[in-house]
Structure 1
Amino acid sequence: MTTPRTTPPLRRGAVAVAAGCSLVALTACSAIGGANADDEASAAGTVTLVTHESFGLSEGLLEQFEDETGLSVEIVQQADAGALVNQLVLTKDAPLGDLVYGIDNAFASRALDEGVVVPADVTAPAGADAAAHAVPGDDDGALTAIDFGDVCLNIDTAWFAAQGVPEPTTLDSLLDPAYRDLLVVPDPVTSSPGLAFLLATVGAYGEDGWVDYWAGLRDNGLQVADGWSEAYYTDFTAGGGDGPRPVVLSYASSPPFTVPEGGDEPTTCALLDTCFRQVEYAGVLAGAANPEGAAQLLDFLLSDEVQADIPVSMYMYPVSSSVDLPDEWARWAPLSDAPYSVAPGDITEHREQWLTTWSDTVIG
């Protein structure tokens, strides 16, 4: 977020790429699916996690789970939370695996409505406030919150200082001609952070104003990337790829990971008046070949070891408040005091309509 999880959501920053690559190297990964339900023998010792491209834990954690349980973990990765849910719906009669991680609050209602996840007994961490992150309408608890974070615009502070251009601070700032051709965001149709930002504008401007806002961004030189990683690593000036755009959609937790080696402060900052809060969930897939193993892996994602690792490996806040956050997060990665919000029922009812209207307005 979504790493990036994204966190941050490959989605979130360079550490996530390293962690994700290590995880893929350490585990048996599949591009096409999980355990075959017809192969009871192989499924018994394997649990398949279906997730987005930004999933990654620090080296050794997943091996610890395998050692303690005797299970072998396989990873099936989709590009993003939106693509992830789409694939789960398309394959729900022949599920891709046993457990899904990375369904976010913009797509949670669709996953529930389509019946792709089922309730499981889980052990919530002592410090978790389940009610604060629960999906409205999920009375059986089929989705369990694992982490959360604020999707916000990020800026390259060094670029603005060097150019002598005042830093933008709000959503309205980006409509000013002074910021023409400076903003890049991921496509909300293909990116969960992109959709989160679309929802932020709906929350900020309402049904009568969000389309005009996007038309204004379009006319002011907005660039749309396919996904978060392209926007951040290729188009952003501070993403490592010498891109041309100093304003990018990312996470409030991204700046600490831009502190240069030997430096003492980040080269970027998040605009906390532009945020939408994203929550990422896990759930046992309906029809899973190994639901017991899936429940064990879900408990593991809620363990203190994994919850404490989430900030450094996936750049999101853990749902457990009983684990310590990195020291620099208090200074460089605060959450927004007032993120924009949209009622879950409105997201469910209007999501596809909003995406179509956005495409017609911005892409044409």
Structure 2
Amino acid sequence: MKQLIGVVVLLLLVVAPATAQDNVLTLITHDSFNISEDVQAAFEAETGITLEILPGGDAGQMVNQSILSKGNPLADVMFGIDNTFLSRGLENELFVPYESPMLENVPEDFVLDEEHRVTPIDYGDVCLNYDVAYFEENELAVPQSLTDLTDPAYEGLLVVENPATSSPGLAFLLTTIGVFGTEGDYTYLDYWTDLVENEVRVVDGWETAYYGEFSGASGGEGTYPLVVSYASSPPVEVYFMETPPETAPTASVVAPQTCFRQIEFAGILAGTDKVEEAQQLIDFMLGVEFQEDVPLQMFVFPVNQEAELPQIFLDHAQVVEEPVVIDAAELEANRADWIQAWTDTVLR
């Protein structure tokens, strides 16, 4: 009898870890991902699934890692692939289709894959940001178009990020391509030539541009009153101030055809044996609880129309009505050439 009990105990010890492991779902995501502890706990309590977060670098690194491990994925679900890398992920068959019933609350404009291999989760607009005090003190009109930036009135006022090393830098390059095109009498390269003549400053990344060069950032010591950032940057400025002001010290230019919309997606990675659990996570990420957590965790906008924005976003975020959009397949086919042409024009 004692031997039988011993065998049973041994079996339980062997089976228990495997069962616990079966309830772990791994999410690979970019380094900017964040989720409130109580929201993650709610998902785990509702489903009995333990969510494990695997940082994958920036969006490009994450996609490249997943392509290299295709068929034997590092995780079960990916979050953070955006429309600038989407076609690469789809062409490499990284994802399996899943049409979440929660998509009924998401505008069709965000659904870029008709086969539902990826699901839109959030979006943000890359726009010009400006130092409100600088423009008021100098009685200078805020630029309302990309062309305005080539005016001598704005000489030496703009700092941008290198599109080869920065996601917002790439988004701004794509904005100029969407507006000026690649063929004709005046192309995006002609535009960038004019920006160079107007003494645009180029730095490697967003953090350097925003906190190192931009004069409007909290704690920043920069001298440039114009920077490429996000439409959600002004509420962030207010959010992190010890004594929040009534008006944000920065604002975004949201005039038509001046911003590029980035949409972030989640997808179930091909090769996972936890498809049902992954589907539950996708549904949860589209639910109101997660969607309302997004703005103050990642400072982007939810795609679910039923999610309410926090008051600080309602007070200080600006809505982009006409963002620039470039077809994902066209982007994938030309990204490297566009960046190389930009490098030859601007940096050499």
With the shorter chain as reference, the TM-score category is 0.7 to 0.9
Give the secondary-structure state (helix, strand or coil) at the position aligned to 1:60: helix
Letter in 2 for 1:198: L
Which residue of the partner structure matches residue 340 of structure 1? 324
Note if contact 2:214-2:226 (Cα within 8 Å) is conserved in structure 1. Answer: yes
For 2:36 and 2:88, the matched residues in 1 are separated by: 31
Q: How many angstroms does 1:126 deviate by?
A: 4.4
Cα 1:254/1:72, change in 2 over 3 Å: same
- In the alignment, what sits opposite 1:55? 33
- For 1:21, the equivalent position in structure 2 comes to none
**Which of 302, 315, 320 is equivalent to 1:318?**
302
Q: Deviations over 1:90-109 (max 9, x none)?
A: 33244221111111112111
Structure 1 residue 62, shift from structure 2 partner: 1.1
Matched residue, 1:15? none
Q: What is aligned with 1:264?
A: 246
Q: Does 1:107 align with 2:85?
A: yes
1:160 corresponds to 2:135: yes
Q: Does 1:296 align with 2:280?
A: yes
Question: Is the counterpart of residue 351 in structure 1 residue 329 in structure 2?
Answer: no
How far apart, CA to CA, are the structure 2 residues paired with 1:79 and 1:363?
A: 26
Say whether the 8 Å CA contact 1:52–1:79 is kept in structure 2: yes
Relative distance call for 1:84 and 1:183 in structure 2 (3 A) is farther
Q: Find the partner of 2:289 among 274, 285, 305.
A: 305
User: Aligned partners of 1:241 and 1:301: how far apart in 2?
Assistant: 34
CA 1:330–1:56 in structure 2 vs 1: closer, same or farther (change >3 Å)?
A: same
State the secondary structure of the residue aligned to 2:101: coil
Shift of 1:88: 2.1
SS in 1 for 2:346: helix
Q: CA deviation at 1:139?
A: 3.4
The secondary structure found in structure 2 opposite 1:124 is helix
1:85 aligns with 2:63: yes
1:283: how far off? 0.2
Q: Compared with structure 1, are the counterparts of its residues 62 and 233 closer, same or farther at alpha carbon in structure 2 (3 Å cutoff)?
A: farther
> Deviation at 1:330?
4.1
The answer as to whether partners of 2:252 and 2:318 remain within 8 angstroms in 1 is: no
For 1:42 and 1:357, the matched residues in 2 are separated by 52
Residue in 2 that maps onto 1:277: 261
Is the 1:82–1:191 Cα contact (8 Å) retained in structure 2? Answer: no
Structure 1 alignment gaps of length 5 or more: 1-38
Q: Is the 8 A contact 1:149 1:335 kept in 2?
A: no
Distance 1:235 1:43 in 2: 47
2:173 aligned counterpart, secondary structure: helix
1:288-342 Cα distance to aligned partner (Å, 9 max, x none): 3533332222221111101112222222221111122233434532322222222
- Distance 1:358-1:282 versus aligned 2 partners, 3 A rule: same
User: Which residue of 65, 70, 95 maps to 1:117?
Assistant: 95
Tell whether 2:235 aligns with 1:253: no
Residue 252 of structure 1 and its aligned partner are, at CA, apart by 1.5
Q: Secondary structure of 2:105's partner?
A: coil
Q: CA deviation at 1:275?
A: 0.7
Under a length normalisation based on structure 1, what TM-score does the superposition of the two structures give?
0.81
SS at 1:335 equivalent? coil
**1:269 CA displacement:** 0.7
- What displacement does 1:151 show? 1.3
2:225 aligned partner, one-letter code:
P
**Match among 142, 154, 160 for residue 117 of structure 2:** 142
More helix by share: 2
The number of residue pairs the alignment matches comes to 323
Distance (whole Å) between structure 1 residues aligned to residue 345 and residue 56 of structure 2: 27
Larger radius of gyration: 2
Q: Is the 8 A contact 1:80 1:191 kept in 2?
A: no
Structure 1: how far apart are the matches of 2:268 and 2:65?
15
1:195 equivalent in structure 2: 170
Q: Does 1:215 align with 2:199?
A: no
Cα–Cα, structure 1 residues 181 and 96, in superposed 2: closer, same or farther, change >3 Å? farther
Per the TM alignment, residue 362 of structure 1 is displaced from its structure 2 partner at its CA by 2.1
Task: From the superposition, tell whether residues 242 and 42 of structure 1 become closer, same or farther in structure 2 (CA, over 3 Å).
Answer: farther
Cα distance change, pair 225–296 in 1 and its aligned pair in 2 (3 A): farther
- Structure 1 window deviating more from structure 2 (118-127 vs 211-220): it is 118-127
Q: State the superposition RMSD in angstroms.
A: 2.3
**1:16 corresponds to:** none
Q: Which amino acid letter does the alignment assign opposite residue 115 of structure 1? A: E
Match of 1:33 in 2: none
TM-score by length of 2: 0.84
AA aligned opposite 2:32: S
CA contact (8 A) 2:86 2:328 kept: no
8 Å Cα contact 1:95-1:285 kept in structure 2 = yes
Structure 2 counterpart of 1:181:
156
Q: CA deviation at 1:343?
A: 2.9
Distance 1:132 1:327, change over 3 A: same
Residue 45 of structure 1 and its aligned partner are, at CA, apart by 2.3
